[in-house]
Amino acid sequence: MTDDSPITPAPKRLGRDDLLRIYRESRTIAVVGASTNADRPAHYVPLYLQSQGYRIIPVSLRGGEIFGERVRRSLAEIDEPIDIVEVFRPADEGPQVARDAARIGAKVVWFQPGTQSGNASTIAAAAGLSVITRLCMGTTHGTLGLGPGPEHTDRIEARYKSPSARISAGHD
């Protein structure tokens, strides 16, 4: 018996220089599974990345507004270029997120720890996306020396709670 299924390459293992390049070249991050709950990584990690100058576009079925941005209900609703799709959804949703990320032309799909699946990674890599798994995007940013890391989001959160701080920080 022969297996006639196409052979798809495993996602390329990315090193330090690759990660630095991704952070340097990226500006806009779609966060699938963004949360309004400040205690969840799906809230404080994107909030930290926003504080570091990245544009965050939250994606959640709940809609509304997070981080001063309108929440999109799906990646398909985003009508601007996306550099990174950051995933905070269960692993069984990963394959569809990978397909959607490829469909919108994202360059990178970043599966936060616990959200990855081999199938999703394979789909994304076969579509030409860089794939990152098992690393927190915020912690890695700090570890690479690009910022203080997301453990400092309590100070960032205070900016959003104070109306005068919002104005002075440019968030009105």
Domain 16-154: CATH superfamily, name plus number: NAD(P)-binding Rossmann-like Domain (3.40.50.720)
Name the average pLDDT for the chain: 86
Token duo for residue 35: 């949360």
Confidence of residue 20 (pLDDT cuts 50, 70, 90): very high
Question: 159 pairs with which residues across the strands?
Answer: none
Amino acid (one-letter) located at 62: R
Confidence of residue 153 (pLDDT cuts 50, 70, 90): low
Identify the pLDDT of residue 161: 45
Token duo for residue 144: 């690479």
- Give the DSSP H or E segment for 58: strand 55-59
Query: Is residue 62 packed enough to be buried (19+ CB in 10 Å), middle (13-18) or exposed (0-12)?
Result: exposed
Identify the pLDDT of residue 39: 92
The pTM score is 0.84
d(CA 124, CA 127): 5
Sorted by where each begins, the domain ranges of the chain are 16-154
End-to-end CA distance of the chain: 65
Task: Give the residue with greater pLDDT, 62 vs 169.
Answer: 62
Dihedral sign of CA atoms 23, 24, 25, 29 in order: positive
Average pLDDT value for residue range 134-153 = 91
% of the chain at pLDDT higher than 90: 77
Confidence of residue 10 (pLDDT cuts 50, 70, 90): low
Average pLDDT value for residue range 50-77 = 96
d(CA 34, CA 36): 7
List, as one string, the DSSP characters of 64-117.
SEETTEEPBSSGGG--S--SEEEE-S-GGGHHHHHHHHHHTT-SEEEE-TT---
Which residue from 77, 106, 22 is spatially nearest to 98, judged by alpha carbons? 106
CA atoms within 13 A on the CB side of 79: 2
Confidence of residue 9 (pLDDT cuts 50, 70, 90): low
Per-residue pLDDT at 4 exceeds 50: no
Token duo for residue 77: 């609703």
